[in-house]
Amino acid sequence: MKHVAYEYARRGARLVLVARREDRLQVVADKARQIGSPGVIVVAADVSKVEDCKQFVEEAVNHFGQLDHLVNNAGVVLIDFFEKVTRFSDFASIMASKAALISFFETLRTEFGPDIGITIVTPGLIESEMSKGEILSQYAWVPMEATEVCAKAIVDSACSGDMYLTEPSWVKVWVWIKILCPEVFEWGAHSISKYSENVAGKVILITGASSGIGEHVAYEYARRRACLALIARREDRLQEVANRARQLGSPEVIVVPADVSKVEDCKRFVDETVNHFGQLDHLVNNAGVTRIELFEDSTQFSDYASIMDINFWGSIYSTHNAVPHLRKRKGKIVVLASTVAWLAMPRLSFYNASKAALISFFETLRVELGSDIGITIVTPGLIKSEMSEATKLSKAKATWILAKSTEGCAKAIVASACRGDMYLTEPSWMKVMFWMKIMCPEVLEWGLHWTFVKRRETSKDS
């Protein structure tokens, strides 16, 4: 937190800067002098050593003849789930950590009375070396405060003699939630820090892996070093995907050309996978097709039968064969449904119905299986792929809907499956539509009809 030093320097204070890296301290000292500090000394020291602490306090007093503020700022962090800790000695340097500090200095404040003021600062997530890397990747969605802003607030607060400072101040809302409804707070904290499964060496079967979302889900699992069984009808495309997956890090990939609408094919590819790898850990039910047409314009119902056969029955056949093997491994099932299952997008009535059936079926299965097998139901919005390619889109007059990249969607799907989420909507803003449907279904349906049916008829007429 060099910015605390700069903030004191701006106010003309003299400084003693302490840390282990002397070269970095010298850079901060030079800048502090330029900003306005009339005197700066640096002391290389390790605050975890009692003799170092004695020495830098003595150096400060010997040099300046007095000490007015002590800012106890040095700290380190190590991130891991308690269950994953192997050596407690790795964590020894962190203690006594933050809760203990608060308790200690609150006690000290009652001992000192008004002789020495103590300001206890509880920052939220602040941009710094500490918040980069692991924290940043896990909690990138949490708004971060700039170090300069936090440093200014700290020095202001110390100079005003505040007892406490929480920075940014909105973090206090969490304190109130914790006090008023601790169950909600702990449930929320638990959900955001969920354990993410390590799939390296595990066996993942993906249907519809020859293109689009399935192809990129395969690459994402490959990056995590999982073994893959890739299923689709086009063998040449599957071989290309398999080669790339190997390059990306998958230790072993097999391809099984098959048609998921055939019950005997689904048995065959599950058996081949388990015979080859000896286990099955995740099943990704992704294969799907669509057809775009107004219900009134459809003449042959048989044209639509394949939508149900592939999208619904294909997932059911695959799942039925996979469940005994998944159960042995406490495995997972990922189901590619769609937001259109509840967003009644015109011209897709049979497709929408096939996805709604999938959701209902897998929600029921989740209740039947309990905690033995995890089920993640994915409801993507519009994702760039062969299925959503321009010609089909223009037929549906949906080109204006923001299409998310297949890579981004695949990454979110695999992360969600590894976390064991029950649901994933991608992109997440599509959830707004779900809430609209619940709160004001008339408005949503009128909007869909006007945009995708009426407007098209009007533009045809004119």
CB of 295 to ligand NAP, least distance (A): 19
Stretch in the footprint of ligand NAP (CB under 6 A) among 63-71, 87-95, 180-188, 286-294: 286-294
Q: Does 382 bind ligand NAP (CB under 6 A)?
A: yes
Of 136, 353, 365, 387, the residue at the interface with ligand NAP (CB under 6 A) is: 387
Q: Judged by CB, which is closer to ligand NAP: 57, or 387? A: 387
Torsion 182-185-188-194 (CA) sign: negative
Query: Are the C-beta atoms of residues 282 and 333 closer than 8 Å to each other?
Result: yes
Give the contacts of 300 (CB within 8 A, at least 6 positions apart): none
| β 15-19/40-44 pair status | parallel
Q: Is 241 in the site for ligand NAP (CB under 6 A)?
A: no
Q: Residue 321 CB, nearest distance to ligand NAP (Å)?
A: 14
For ligand NAP, the closer of residues 150 and 357 by Cβ is 357
259 binds ligand NAP (CB under 6 A): yes
- Give how far Cα 297 sits from Cα of 10, 92, 300, 399, Å: 75, 71, 10, 22
According to CB under 6 A, which one of 119, 261, 352, 416 is a site residue for ligand NAP?
Answer: 261
Task: Quote the least distance from Cβ 347 to ligand NAP, whole Å.
Answer: 14
Measured from the CB atom, the residue of 203 and 382 that comes closer to ligand NAP is 382
| 332 to 351: interface string for ligand NAP, x by CB under 6 A | ----x-x-------------
Estimate to the nearest angstrom the gap between the alpha carbon of 198 and the chain centroid.
Answer: 15
Quick check: 212 binds ligand NAP (CB under 6 A)? yes
Q: Give the contacts of 382 (CB within 8 A, at least 6 positions apart).
A: 388, 393, 398, 401, 402, 403, 404
Contact 167, 150 (CB under 8 A): yes
Q: Is 213 in the site for ligand NAP (CB under 6 A)?
A: yes
The set of catalytic residues is: 351
- 253 forms part of the interface with ligand NAP (CB under 6 A): no
The window from 119-127, 183-191, 204-212, 439-447 that contacts ligand NAP (CB under 6 A) reads 204-212
| Cα(438)–Cα(281) distance, integer angstroms | 36
- Between 2-10 and 147-160, two packed helices, what is the crossing angle to 10 degrees? 50
- Establish if 410 lies at the interface with ligand NAP (CB under 6 A): no
Min dist CB 240 to ligand NAP, Å, is 11
212-223 vs 235-248: helix axis angle to the nearest 10? Answer: 30
Residue-by-residue DSSP string for 342-376: TS--TT-HHHHHHHHHHHHHHHHHHHHHTTSSEEE
Q: Which of 37, 147, 157, 211 binds ligand NAP (CB under 6 A)?
A: 211
Q: Does 398 bind ligand NAP (CB under 6 A)?
A: no
Instruction: Name the minimum Å distance from CB 266 to ligand NAP.
Output: 9
Which three-class secondary structure state does DSSP give residue 157? helix
According to the binding rule CB under 6 A, does residue 272 interact with ligand NAP? no
User: Scanning the structure block, which residue is given the tokens 């499964």?
Assistant: 197
CA distance 355 to 244: 30
Closest to ligand NAP by CB, 5 or 209: 209
Instruction: Kindly state whether residue 303 participates in binding ligand NAP, applying the rule CB under 6 A.
Output: no
Decide: is 234 part of the binding site for ligand NAP (CB under 6 A): yes
| C-alpha separations of 291 from 195, 199, 298, 394 in Å | 39, 35, 11, 13
Quote the longest CA-to-CA distance of the chain.
95
Nearest of 225, 219, 166 to residue 197 by alpha carbon: 225
- State the nearest-atom distance from the C-beta of 151 to ligand NAP, in Å: 46
Among 147, 286, 318, 376, binds ligand NAP (CB under 6 A): 286
CB of 339 to ligand NAP, least distance (A): 7
**Separation between Cα atoms, residue 169 and residue 419, nearest integer Å:** 31
**Is 186 one of the binding residues for ligand NAP (CB under 6 A)?**
no
Q: 420: phi > 0 → left, psi -120 to 50 → alpha, else beta; which?
A: left
Instruction: Determine if 376 is a binding residue for ligand NAP (CB under 6 A).
Output: no
Residue 166 within binding range of ligand NAP, rule CB under 6 A: no
Structure tokens at 271: 């058996």
What residues contact 199, with CB distance under 8 A and at least 6 apart? 221, 224, 225, 226, 281, 282, 418
- Judged by CB under 6 A, the stretch of 81-89, 155-163, 282-290, 295-303 that binds ligand NAP is 282-290
Closest approach of Cβ 167 to ligand NAP, in Å?
Answer: 42
Among 123, 208, 346, 427, binds ligand NAP (CB under 6 A): 208
How many angstroms separate the CA atoms of 153 and 155, rounded?
A: 6
Report the residue number, 157 or 385, with the smaller CB distance to ligand NAP: 385
Nearer to ligand NAP (CB atom), residue 232 or residue 444: 232
Are 334 and 209 within 8 A, CB to CB?
no
User: Minimum distance from CB of 289 to ligand NAP (Å)?
Assistant: 5
Interacting residues toward ligand NAP by CB under 6 A: 207-214, 232-234, 237, 259-261, 286-289, 310, 336, 338, 380, 382-383, 385-388
